[in-house]
Amino acid sequence: MIILLIIIISINFSNLSAHEKVFADSHGPISIMGDHVHKKNEYMFSYRLMKMEMRNLFQGNNKISKARTMSSPNGASNGSGTYMNAPDSMSMDMHMFGAMYAPSDHITLMLMGSYNNKEMTTQRMPMTGGKKFDVNSSGFGDVRFTFLSKIQDSKKWKNHIGMGISFPTGSINQRDVTPMSNDARLGYAMQNGTGTYDGFFLINNLNELGKFKVGEQLFFKLPVSGKNNYGYKYGKDIGLNLWVSYRFFQYLSTSLKINYQYRGEMGGSDNEMNKRMSTAMDGNNQGFNKVNLGLGVNFVNKNYYFKNNRVSLEIIAPLYRNYKGIQMADSFSFIVGWQY
């Protein structure tokens, strides 16, 4: 269905921009949102698929075994209780849909939503058999609306700022069958939303140096509605992206990106989640500092059919990770995207 929708949009609108000359590097790496603005009455549709794998457990910036995790004090105890289970692996497929429209040369509006599929494998402690079990969740995530305003648009420098709000449309009551319950609320990472209204701000810069482009984006997000209906809110998010791209031809470019991510500690906790069960259900195991490396390739079709349709791929690998408490760490992720 998604592929069919993309084909219909591309065929119906490809001749509208056939006269325009579009370069593969006119946008940033596909993982960066709000990296560009549009001219008056221009619009753009996008679809991204992000696949992420998480495997190893980390305490701080050190790996920790599942056995040691299950002998670690849990957040519900005074230091004598330990976790009954330990996460083994997690995978996520996130389908992201976006639309942009510019009512003027200085303002661009952006709307983004997502649909998530998640699976987590957990290992039980030895005294309960040590077997593994799987839980799954799926559903729509939070919807984000962004207002982008152009500051500078010269031949060599382009700058804009953005601000917006994330609406709590994603469920925070995802449930599944576990060995302990036939209807258990799943851990924080398996939920599809935050449950809070989150305000955010970004500033984006781009320096054009012939076939090279250098970009920077600073992003800040903070819950603005207090704790959600289940008694918690995520910490503030800070992101910094630095990237360089090189255009081989009009229709082909590559990019190299360094990304820093910070998330603050969680405020409150979900009382229905038993912290003794797993590190994934303990709100004390929230917050991190991460540095990731991204390598991307961007292609723009210059043929008549699907003209100016952009297809991009980016592979992302961790360089540095430091987690608060015990958390499952990113192994790798990749994003493939279409823009028109």
**Residue 70 sits in a domain of what CATH number?**
2.40.128.130
pLDDT above 50 for 10: no
The mean of the pLDDT values for the chain is 93
pLDDT in tens, 135-166: 999 999 999 999 999 999 998 999 999 999 99
Cα separation, 84 vs 277, whole angstroms? 5
Q: What is the mean pLDDT of residues 32-46?
A: 96
Q: What is the mean pLDDT of residues 249-276?
A: 96
Domain count, the chain: 1
pLDDT in tens, 91-108: 999 999 999 999 999 999
**CB crowding 284-313: b at 16 or more within 10 Å, else e:** bbbbbebebebebbbebbeeeebbbbbbbe
Confidence of residue 20 (pLDDT cuts 50, 70, 90): low
pLDDT computed for residue 59 by the predictor = 97
pLDDT above 50 for 31: yes
pLDDT computed for residue 79 by the predictor = 63
pLDDT above 90 for 77: no
Structure tokens at 38: 């549009």
pLDDT computed for residue 8 by the predictor = 42
Q: Give the domain range for residue 313.
A: 2-339
Provide the β-strand partners of residue 218: 203, 240
**With a threshold of 0.85, does the pTM exceed it?**
yes
Q: What is the mean pLDDT of residues 72-99?
A: 91
Cα separation, 180 vs 240, whole angstroms? 41
Hey, how many other C-beta atoms are within 10 angstroms of the C-beta on 248? 12
Q: What is the mean pLDDT of residues 270-299?
A: 96
